[in-house]
Structure 1
Amino acid sequence: MSFKIKSLEKPKLKSPILIEGLPGMGNVGKIAVDFMIEHLQAKKFLEISSHSFPNSVFINEKNLIELPKIGMYYKNTNGKSIMFLAGDVQPTDEKSCYAFCEEVLDVVEKYHAKEVITLGGIGLPENPKKPAVYKTGNNKKLIQKYRAKQVSTSLYGFVGPIVGVSGVLLGLSAERKIPAISFLAETFGHPNHLGIKGAREILDVLNKNLRLNLDLAELDAEISDMNKESESEKDFFKNIKRSIQPRKDTTYIG
């Protein structure tokens, strides 16, 4: 397997942090990273393509097709450098996932990144009203560094294996002695569910710890609209259920 890496720019970065958010459970990590890229106006400096990505194409805003790519972006803000790993796909199998993560970590080492952050979701049977956030990683000092009241470190026995790039990056970073941490937010474990609430909780943690000055009001408005729609749907189905319930005096033949 091979990866084509296209360099778009050679940014000047000072001991950057890498934040990864690729598609996964509830797309929690992807939503969070895409939000940061957009609102911080991060700039793409590298593109990765590969035959190990899903065998499909995407239709862009110009109604033309594009092969799947994963991009790396950067932003220098408040005296710190941040790199973002974002895209619409992940490698399709275990070997290509490991190989892809090695390629990413080569870039991380090239720019002398000081830590790696991966983001993801924890699937639940129901949609949580207030998603909890958990943290784990390969370095105790880094885990203790990121503080927030709503973040728990009690994952053992509750959270299963962290699958895909979000997990493998943590493990391979340890082999290269790069401190790495993962933030995982609860979300509804349905394939069509968008974990905006979970992404918002993770963004709140990163916003405070990294001093990103992100305005999360836009996400709050989306969550409010989603909650209203959810309540409307519940009322709708309750009314249907009432209308089809048989009356006590109804008799049936046959």
Structure 2
Amino acid sequence: MEILCSHEPALKNPTLIAAWPGMGYLAKISVDYLRRRLDAKKFAEVKFYQNAIIYKDSLAELPSIRHRFFAVPDRDLIICVGDAQPSIPEEAIKLAEKVIDFAKGLNVKRVYTMAAYPSDYPDEPRVYGVFTDISLRDELERHGVEFIEGEGAVNGLNGVLIGVAKSKGIEGVCLMGEIRYANVPQHLSSKAVLERLTSLLGIEIDTTQLEKRAEKIDASIRKSLNEFQDIGEELKEEEKKIRYIS
């Protein structure tokens, strides 16, 4: 596993923002939206191979998964985006260590990741924070981040990365947005997470497109639920007829 760097961007003490696909696609949606809005430029990439092949018409290939690094020099930011997560836990740790070692070489002092927190929230999704140093709590709270009492876990690279960062002397924060559906893109939750993240970074971005996408998906879900409800009512009526005939 090797990181291929095309050039070294003009960065001072950058912050790393990293994301891999997870529940509700929250992390990937958030970071992809952010990098496009900030016009981040790619400067490095690491290719990772899965423990499987793919084939088409019986012709096999070994697929590689891209993990790309983008720079925003005027904001002193590095954005890392992965197309997929390693399927083996040990490989996830190796990749996390590779990313953090690379970040440390660029003088990164803090890492942000994002993850989903399943919840049937009533109105606006809340954003919770998990951090690697208690000194970060007050700062996160000032920017509207809430906290979870008790114990829990953040699975996958979006959690593992900040744990590896801590072991290597780098601050880590995982922002978790409430989601209603694990297998449906959660644009409203991504918007909520991005609002907290950009507040922490001291930057502003327009999140209108995320709102529009959220409204479109919500309308589609409501339509599907209504159709299921109509089918359910029809089945009940048919069942009544059958009982009456018998």
Closer, same or farther in 2 for the Cα pair 1:49/1:245, shift >3 Å?
same
Q: Show CA shifts across 1:138-164 (max 9, x none).
A: 11222322345652112424xx31112
Paired residues of 1:54 and 1:68 also in contact (CA < 8 A): no
The offset of 1:66, in angstroms, is 6.6
Query: Is 2:155 aligned against 1:163?
Result: yes
Aligned counterpart, 1:225: 216
Aligned to 1:43: 41
Distance, in Å, in 1 between the alignment partners of 2:122 and 2:184 is 12
TM-score by structure 1 length? 0.84
Percentage of matched positions with identical amino acids: 23
Cα distance 1:133–1:163, how it changes in 2: closer, same or farther (>3 A)? same
Structure-to-structure mapping, 1:231-242, within 5 angstroms: 231-242=222-233
Task: Give RMSD over aligned pairs.
Answer: 2.5
* Structure 1 residue aligned with 2:138: 144
Residues of 1 paired with 2:53 and 2:88: CA distance?
Answer: 15
Task: Tell whether 2:61 aligns with 1:70.
Answer: no
CA–CA distance in 2 between the matches of 1:228 and 1:71?
A: 33
Q: 1:127 and 1:204 mapped to 2: Cα distance?
A: 18
- Counterpart of 1:105, as a letter, is I
2:2 aligns to what SS in structure 1? strand
- Aligned match of 2:188: 197
Structure 1: stretches of 5+ with no match in the other structure: 58-64
The aligned amino acid for 1:203 is L
2:166 to 149, 160, 174: 174
Aligned residues: 239
Instruction: Say whether the 8 Å CA contact 1:56–1:68 is kept in structure 2.
Output: no
**Residues 149 and 36 of structure 1: is their aligned pair in 2 closer, same or farther, counting only changes over 3 Å?**
closer
Kept after mapping to 1: 8 A contact 2:186/2:214: no
Q: Is the 8 A contact 1:142 1:180 kept in 2?
A: no
Match of 1:22 among 20, 23, 26: 20
TM-score (norm 2): 0.86
Tell me if structure 2 keeps the 8 A contact 1:128–1:187: no
3-state secondary structure, aligned to 2:223:
helix
Q: Describe the SS at the equivalent of 2:78.
A: strand
SS at match of 2:124: coil
Separation in structure 2 between the aligned mates of residue 206 and residue 34 of structure 1, nearest angstrom = 14
Q: Tell me, yes or no, if the aligned pair for 2:27 and 2:114 is still in contact at 8 Å.
A: yes
Distance 1:44 1:248 in 2: 60
Tell me which residue corresponds to 1:187: 179
Deviation at 1:97, TM superposition (A): 1.2
Change in 2 beyond 3 A, CA 1:107/1:28: same
Structure 1: which amino acid aligns with 2:233?
R
Q: Is this contact kept in 2: 1:128–1:188, CA < 8 A?
A: no
Equivalent position of 1:135 in the other structure: 129
The CA deviation at 1:40 is: 0.8
Q: Is 1:97 matched up with 2:81?
A: no
Which protein is richer in helix relative to its size?
2
Q: Does 1:123 find its partner at 2:118?
A: yes
Provide the secondary structure at the position in 2 that maps to 1:154: coil
